[in-house]
Amino acid sequence: MNGVDWDGFGWNLAAGAGAAAAVMLVTFLIALRMGVHRVVDVAWGLGFAAVALVSYALSWGDGDGARRVLVTVLTVVWGVRLAVHIGRRGRGHGEDPRYADMLAKAPGDPDLYALRKVYLLQGGLVWLVSLPVQAAYHLTGPMGWWAWAGTVLWAAGLGFEAVGDAQLARFRRDPANKGRIMDRGLWAWTRHPNYFGDFCVWWGLFLIVCQVPVVAAVTLVSPVVMSLLLTKGSGKALLERHMEGRPGFAEYRARTSGFFPLPPGRRG
């Protein structure tokens, strides 16, 4: 019979908050040592991995064993891959222009402002978005078809994200492409294959807990918030504001879907 251990889930929420906060605070100290706050982007994926690992350890003997292993693997693989990719992409570069602009206008100490407005905020978002992951460890029934559908969606999202990132990295390594807009491969189908991949990953993780309706209702906020971040917040919307005015971007935007993949030449 499907159900949930609410006491275990409650303790998990506290431990998950602690794990997310610890990752962000350690990253903040590293950033102070390095003199750049862009390293917080690496901590985003690692924060989710830490929450999953702490949840797995805390739920020992609780929930369905197969689901606990599955959710741990899916979350850690996604989080570590993203962290490694962002770390490699930023190696040798200075401060991210987004953080440089924000801190230049910061009232008072810029580092303390970054701690409040970037690190602690991202830690809170990691905790909130990871609610389905945390809940999955305390579902008592065996996995049903919803869980397998979620796993398939997660795999599709991870593949889309990883392939898109690899295509963009290869494009940027070619000196002939300097100043040009990437419009090949998956980037011809959507202007943001990496963000679309993240979208699929988190809706997939949410589906894993959908077989218990009350848990689905409680954790629905997770994929909704992630979707808003990707489309309206620090993802697509912010990146495209930075790209406004770049040669070729207006034409690329006119012929390429903004988020959901569509055949080249059609907008969405």
Tell me how far apart the terminal alpha carbons of the chain are, to the nearest angstrom: 42
Residues 28-83 have pLDDT tens digits of: 999 999 888 889 999 999 999 999 999 999 998 888 899 999 999 999 999 999 99
Contacts of 114 (CB under 8 A, 6+ apart): 28, 31, 37, 99, 102, 103, 106
What pLDDT is stored for residue 267 in this prediction? 61
Whether pTM > 0.85 for this model: the answer is: yes
Angstrom distance (rounded) from CA 125 to CA 40: 13
Whether residue 265 is contained in a domain is answered as no
Whether residue 260 is contained in a domain is answered as no
Lowest mean pLDDT among 25-34, 43-52, 83-92, 191-200: 83-92
Whether residue 262 is contained in a domain is answered as no
Lowest mean pLDDT among 67-81, 103-117, 124-138: 103-117
Banded pLDDT at 123 (limits 50, 70, 90):
very high
Whether residue 56 is contained in a domain is answered as yes
Q: Does position 160 have pLDDT exceeding 70, yes or no?
A: yes
Angstrom distance (rounded) from CA 114 to CA 42: 15
The range of the structural domain enclosing residue 174 comes to: 6-255
What pLDDT is stored for residue 243 in this prediction? 82
Q: How many domains does the chain have?
A: 1
Lowest mean pLDDT among 42-51, 92-101, 225-234: 92-101
Provide the 8-state DSSP code for 176.
G
Contacts of 204 (CB under 8 A, 6+ apart): 74, 150, 151, 152, 153, 154, 155, 156, 157
Query: Higher model confidence: residue 79 or residue 251?
Result: 79
Angstrom distance (rounded) from CA 107 to CA 194: 34
Whether residue 28 is contained in a domain is answered as yes
Lowest mean pLDDT among 34-48, 62-76, 134-148, 243-257: 243-257
What pLDDT is stored for residue 234 in this prediction? 78
4: three-class secondary structure by DSSP = strand
Angstrom distance (rounded) from CA 148 to CA 31: 39
Burial call 55-78: b when 16+ CB within 10 Å, e when fewer: bbebbeebbbeebbebbbebbbbb
CB atoms within 10 A of CB 35: 8
Whether residue 222 is contained in a domain is answered as yes
